Amino acid sequence: MWGKNKKDGRESRESMREALRLFAYLKPYRRHFFPALACLFITAALSLAFPYLMGELIGGAVNVGTDSVTSQIDRVALTLLAVLALQAFIAYWRIRWFAFAGESGLADIRKDTYSKLVRMPMNYFSEHRVGELSSRIAADLTLIRDALILTVPQIIRQSVMLVGGLIFIFVSSWKLTAVMLSCIPVVVILMSIFGRGIRSLSKDAQDEMAGSNVIVEETLQGISSVKSFSNEAFETRRYSGALGRFVDVTLGAARARALFVSFIIFVLFGAITFVVWYGSGMLGRGEIEFHEFNRFVLFSIFIGAALGSFPDILSQVHKAVGATARVREILADETEDVGLDDTLQVTRFNGGVEMKDVSFSYPSRADIDVLATVSFTVAPGERVAIVGPSGAGKSTIVQLLLRFYDPCSGEVRFDGKNAQDYSLQALRSQMAIVPQEVLLFGGSIKENIAYGWTGAEEADIEEAARKANAHGFISDFPEGYETLVGDRGVKLSGGQRQRIAIARAILADPAILLLDEATSSLDSESEQAVQEALDGLMKGRTSIIIAHRLSTIREADRILVLRDGQIVESGTHEELSIKEGGVYRMLSELQFAAD
């Protein structure tokens, strides 16, 4: 028990230190942040003037009537108004500066986190769920933001009130203060016990909330799958299950909080009642002046309020520290080094591609060999097709060429040089991929085509679209190239999307073209249109074509047949078609019989 507590303590101190490191992000805004902090101290100190002068005012009111007292209370009231005006003025700037420094710093953290995320190696994304990652950027950073902009000022204000208040009541009457302070240890100890319980429960609640958010995100992303399987009820049950666990935990936390609040009401205010009762006795005995007594009571209320606000503050801080840990985890992770700096030195590849004895298994499933000593060479400008049953490892070869992953053994070479000797940016800029599932970004068709080369002019884009046989359907839209696609625009068909992807690839003008089932989702007519576009695109470049439909690859210079991660046959369509007992021959007989 003790050992665990000690460890917890060390861990939470460590994570607190970690959290404080994020304050480095405020550095560029220190010219606003530090003045805001100073203002905060000043306004907090000025708020102490309120109970002080108010005590004076009420005390004066009792003796009102004589001229001197009347002029004195006028003076006190005016001072109070002046203090309030000053405080209001400073508070205005304090909040604006604090918000400026905080929001700007937070935006920087957000930018850094996002830019880290998109630079993570592919494997990272198979190990983390998309919902979880986007919730870090959304929910966790919002928590940190609230902590910085709302909780930090709270901490400072309440601490100043607490310390200042204690000093003032001590000066007003040390005896009464001693009576009051004797009550405090009890209050503080009980508070820390409650605080700990509430904190751990609120962390659990956060985790549960994140879990249920992942369900929402993922099902909304894959809403068509949910609907097509009529799984609305199933998902609703899954969500309400997760939500139920969240509610359970929050209710537990609420119970702890409820206990705490009733405790505050009874014990804290009971203690205040006791102190005031004692003070009244002192007043009767003439041991304390009336205005001192007033001041004492008002300050005590402020101190009580400050004390009472600490559990909430603590739970906010704790939430923020947890969020910080998760965000810092992303910020500390290794990204892939794409080598953006040496883009200028990249000369165009000739297009020679070679795989030499490549073996590979995905890091997330290290025990399964996806590729086993695969070797092949593709000469510059050659058109090579890879065929084979589903799961054979065809797309994996494409991923290795793009260096989304590195082979476990063996080498991938471009123009005779190991792929690892090029920077990722240099390497990937030489290739363009037309995938089977084309993802278009929200935005115009024009922007989506320009994704292949962000510096493209309008004329280049249109030319690329023409070559991709896409210009026709694009001009049919009333808004042409400005037509919005994706979530809030026109939904394009699979074939139209593929032609946009081909236009992208044309614009990118790569030395090496990778087609992963680029015509698979098309009818024969659009397939012909796309095939023509592809034929044009492949001219003069090395092309690696993956296709299930063998009719599309008959023209290939060479066909590699992949099965269970190994190349089992290679040759032209003619050669492989006459090979007795060959895999290709069997596949093609099956397909052409079906056609």
Q: Binding residues for ligand ATP, per CB under 6 A?
A: 126, 362, 364-365, 370, 390-396
Which residue is nearest to Mg ion, using beta carbons? Answer: 395
- In three-state secondary structure terms, 107 is helix
Least distance between Mg ion and beta carbon 396 (Å): 8
Least distance between ligand ATP and beta carbon 388 (Å): 6
- In three-state secondary structure terms, 452 is coil
Say what angle helices 494-508 and 458-467 make with each other, to 10 degrees: 120
Beta carbon nearer to Mg ion, 75 or 365:
365
Q: What token pair was written down for 249?
A: 């935990």
Continuous segment of H or E residues that includes residue 432: strand 431-434
Q: What token pair was written down for 534?
A: 């592809």
Q: Which amino acid is at 522?
A: L
CB 292 within 8 A of CB 172: yes
Least distance between ligand ATP and beta carbon 436 (Å): 8
Burial of 477 (0-12, 13-18, 19+ CB in 10 A): middle
Beta carbon nearer to Mg ion, 213 or 395:
395
Q: Which amino acid is at 188?
A: V
Beta carbon nearer to Mg ion, 113 or 396:
396
Question: What Cα–Cα distance (Å) separates residue 375 from each residue in 310, 391, 542?
Answer: 66, 18, 17
Least distance between ligand ATP and beta carbon 126 (Å): 5
CB 137 within 8 A of CB 114: yes
Q: Find which of Mg ion, ligand ATP, none residue 348 binds, CB within 5 to 8 Å per kind.
A: none
How many of the other CB atoms lie within 10 Å of CB of 89?
Answer: 12
Least distance between Mg ion and beta carbon 394 (Å): 5
Q: Find which of Mg ion, ligand ATP, none residue 370 binds, CB within 5 to 8 Å per kind.
A: ligand ATP
What DSSP line would sit under 516-549, residue for residue?
A: ESTTTT--HHHHHHHHHHHHHHHTTSEEEEE-S-
Least distance between ligand ATP and beta carbon 394 (Å): 3
Interatomic CA distance for residues 99 and 147, integer angstroms: 12
Q: Find which of Mg ion, ligand ATP, none residue 391 binds, CB within 5 to 8 Å per kind.
A: ligand ATP
Residue 312's φ and ψ, nearest 5 degrees, are -60, -45
Least distance between ligand ATP and beta carbon 417 (Å): 25
Least distance between Mg ion and beta carbon 516 (Å): 6
Beta carbon nearer to ligand ATP, 211 or 435:
435
Q: Find which of ligand ATP, Mg ion, none residue 390 binds, CB within 5 to 8 Å per kind.
A: ligand ATP
Least distance between Mg ion and beta carbon 339 (Å): 28
Task: Compute the CA torsion angle 236, 239, 243, 244 (nearest 10 deg).
Answer: 70
Beta carbon nearer to ligand ATP, 122 or 254:
122
382-421: contacts with Mg ion (CB under 5 A): 395
Least distance between Mg ion and beta carbon 157 (Å): 60
Interatomic CA distance for residues 360 and 373, integer angstroms: 8
Least distance between ligand ATP and beta carbon 211 (Å): 23
Interatomic CA distance for residues 443 and 9, integer angstroms: 50
Interatomic CA distance for residues 461 and 445, integer angstroms: 10
Size of the site for Mg ion (CB under 5 A): 1
Beta carbon nearer to ligand ATP, 503 or 576:
576
Number of helical (H) and strand (E) elements in the chain, helices listed first: 21, 12
- In three-state secondary structure terms, 8 is helix
Beta carbon nearer to ligand ATP, 281 or 391:
391
Q: Find which of Mg ion, ligand ATP, none residue 364 binds, CB within 5 to 8 Å per kind.
A: ligand ATP
Q: Find which of ligand ATP, Mg ion, none residue 115 binds, CB within 5 to 8 Å per kind.
A: none
Q: Find which of ligand ATP, Mg ion, none residue 236 binds, CB within 5 to 8 Å per kind.
A: none
Q: What token pair was written down for 217?
A: 């995100």
Q: How many residues does the chain have?
A: 595
268-307: contacts with Mg ion (CB under 5 A): none
Continuous segment of H or E residues that includes residue 567: strand 566-571
Interatomic CA distance for residues 420 and 325, integer angstroms: 33
Beta carbon nearer to Mg ion, 105 or 388:
388
> From edge to edge, which strands make up the β-sheet containing 371-378?
371-378, 353-360, 409-414, 417-418
Beta carbon nearer to ligand ATP, 391 or 442:
391
Beta carbon nearer to ligand ATP, 118 or 366:
366
CB 335 within 8 A of CB 121: yes
Interatomic CA distance for residues 63 and 58, integer angstroms: 9
Beta carbon nearer to Mg ion, 398 or 576:
398
Using alpha carbons only, how large is the chain's radius of gyration in Å? 35
Least distance between Mg ion and beta carbon 401 (Å): 13
Interatomic CA distance for residues 550 and 225, integer angstroms: 29
What DSSP line would sit under 345-363, residue for residue?
A: GPPPP---EEEEEEEE--G
Q: Find which of Mg ion, ligand ATP, none residue 175 binds, CB within 5 to 8 Å per kind.
A: none
Q: Say how many CA atoms lie within 13 Å of 254 toward its Cβ.
A: 6
Least distance between ligand ATP and beta carbon 566 (Å): 12
Beta carbon nearer to ligand ATP, 354 or 516:
516
Beta carbon nearer to Mg ion, 49 or 587:
587
Q: Find which of ligand ATP, Mg ion, none residue 144 binds, CB within 5 to 8 Å per kind.
A: none
Residues contributing to the site for Mg ion (CB under 5 A): 395
